Each structure stands twice: as structure tokens, then as C-alpha cells.
Amino acid sequence: MLACVFVAVNSEGRAFVYREIGESNLPISAAAGCVLDATERDENGKAKEEFYLTLAPPDLWNRSQETGRSKANIFSESGLTLTKSNNDREAGWLAIKELLRLDANGEPRLQIFSTCRGLIKDLPALIRDERRPTDCATEPHEITHGPDALRYFSVFWWRPGEEADRSRRTVWTPDMWEDYYNASESGKEYLIRKYGKPK
């Protein structure tokens, strides 16, 4: 099952899920093509959207005993390079909860557009795992794909360990400085949490 969510993040660290794909029974090359084809393009066929990365679960890097190749390799050969996310399920659901929690302005840091009907339907339909109350059950399986895709983004994006390390210092690029100068006060705080204090 191919489940993909497209997420835009603004300079204040707010995430917006604006597009989704849910297709079953696709070969990997066709799944990669499906994601690439969903990218908005201009009249000349040039992509109008610029993607920072495409996250995927770690098991896609497991090599097949028959071919010695991984699914991630096949995706890459098909034009879609993947970045490994974290498969810690409980941390992922916690990250989603944190991003959906309202801030001091009464706004969540994660918003899902009405165009993502599958995710809007499936996310609240998830059932708590009876043996692990901080996890969601993997059944009914058909409703877990979209929420899992969101979980891979959320656990990658929300890093509580980095938030605690405010003393970390890094060399900022010109793009980082531009984001900082154009951000609100809360946005500036977010960027320092994300990148570390500039040297």
C-alpha cells in the first residue's frame, strides 16, 4: 500500500498537510511515479513545488535475500530518493499529539487541509492498542496507512531532545539567517530550537 502525505512547514515551524495519496497493489517503480506525478508542474512540465525530503519507514532499507537490493534502492532508481525516518511507534503518536496540541495562541502546530479526506477519516478511527496503551492497534489495517505516513513525518520533525538542548551552537547558512530575520518572535525561537544558536 502506497500512503503518502505532502506536508509544508512555514518559518514558524507550523506544519500543513495539504495533499495525500493512497494507492494499493502498485509495483515500487509505479509507486515512485505516482508520488512524482502528484507534484504540481507548470506548462513546461517543470515542478512548481520544491521538496526538502521524502520520508519513509526504516524497513524499506532491508535488503532482499534474492536480489541484495532494498525497496529504497528501487525507489531511488525510479527517481524518488527516500530519507529514513524513525519507526518508534509510541514516539510517533506522541509527536502527532504534541503537534496537534494548541499553543498559547490557541493554534496547533499541525493542520490537515480538507483535501486530505482519507487522513481526516482514518486518524480519529484508530484504536488504542490494548497491550500498549501509548500505541495504536494495527487493525483494522486498511485505516492505518495514512496515519502511519503522518507518524513518520511527525516523529522526524518534532525532536524533543533538541528542544532541551538550547545551548547547542552551529554555523548558520545565509538561508537560515534569512528565515530568522523574516520570522516572528515565536518563529525565531523555533529556528534556534531547530538549528541551535548561531555561532
Q: Same domain for 100 and 77?
A: yes
One-character DSSP codes across 47-92: BS---S--EE-GGGGPBPTTTS-BHHHHHHHTT---EE----HHHH
Q: What CATH number is given to the structural domain containing 13? A: 3.30.420.280
pLDDT at 168: 58
The pTM of this model reads 0.77
pLDDT at 165: 46
Q: Same domain for 45 and 130?
A: yes
Q: Same domain for 85 and 171?
A: no
Instruction: Give 110-143 pLDDT, tens digit per residue.
Output: 999 999 999 999 999 999 998 888 899 999 999 9
Q: Same domain for 126 and 187?
A: no
Tell me the HSE value of 163 on the side-chain side, using a 13 A CA sphere.
9
Q: What span, in angstroms and rounded, lies between the C-alpha atoms of 3 and 144?
A: 9
- What is the average pLDDT value for the chain, to the nearest integer? 87
Least confident range of 84-88, 145-149, 157-161, 180-184: 157-161
Q: Same domain for 13 and 61?
A: yes
Q: How many domains does the chain fold into? A: 2
Q: Which domain holds residue 191?
A: 165-199
Stretch (H or E) spanning 111: strand 110-112
| Cell 506548462 sits on residue | 43
**Please, which pLDDT band fits residue 167 given cuts at 50, 70 and 90?**
low
pLDDT at 98: 92
Q: Same domain for 45 and 108?
A: yes
Q: What span, in angstroms and rounded, lies between the C-alpha atoms of 145 and 69?
A: 24
Q: Same domain for 44 and 113?
A: yes
Q: Same domain for 188 and 138?
A: no
Reply yes or no on whether the pLDDT at 193 is more than 80.
Answer: no
pLDDT at 57: 94
Reply yes or no on whether the pLDDT at 160 is more than 70.
Answer: no
**Please, which pLDDT band fits residue 72 given cuts at 50, 70 and 90?**
very high
Q: What span, in angstroms and rounded, lies between the C-alpha atoms of 147 and 67?
A: 31
Helix residue ranges per DSSP H, 112-184: 117-122, 145-157, 160-164, 174-182
Q: Which amino acid is at 84?
A: K
Reply yes or no on whether the pLDDT at 163 is more than 60.
Answer: no
Question: Average pLDDT in the 16-22 region?
Answer: 97
Q: Which amino acid is at 198?
A: P
- Assess contact for 22 and 146: CB atoms under 8 A: yes
pLDDT at 49: 85
Q: Same domain for 141 and 182?
A: no
- Assess contact for 162 and 193: CB atoms under 8 A: yes
Reply yes or no on whether the pLDDT at 166 is more than 60.
Answer: no
Q: What span, in angstroms and rounded, lies between the C-alpha atoms of 137 and 139?
A: 5
Question: Average pLDDT in the 159-186 region?
Answer: 68
Least confident range of 46-60, 147-161, 185-199: 185-199
Total number of residues shown for the chain = 199
Instruction: Give 38-66 pLDDT, tens digit per residue.
Output: 988 888 878 788 888 999 999 999 988 78
- Residue 178: alpha-carbon gap to chain centroid: 24
Q: What span, in angstroms and rounded, lies between the C-alpha atoms of 158 and 63?
A: 29
Q: Quick count: other Cβ atoms within 10 Å of Cβ 20?
A: 23
pLDDT at 23: 94
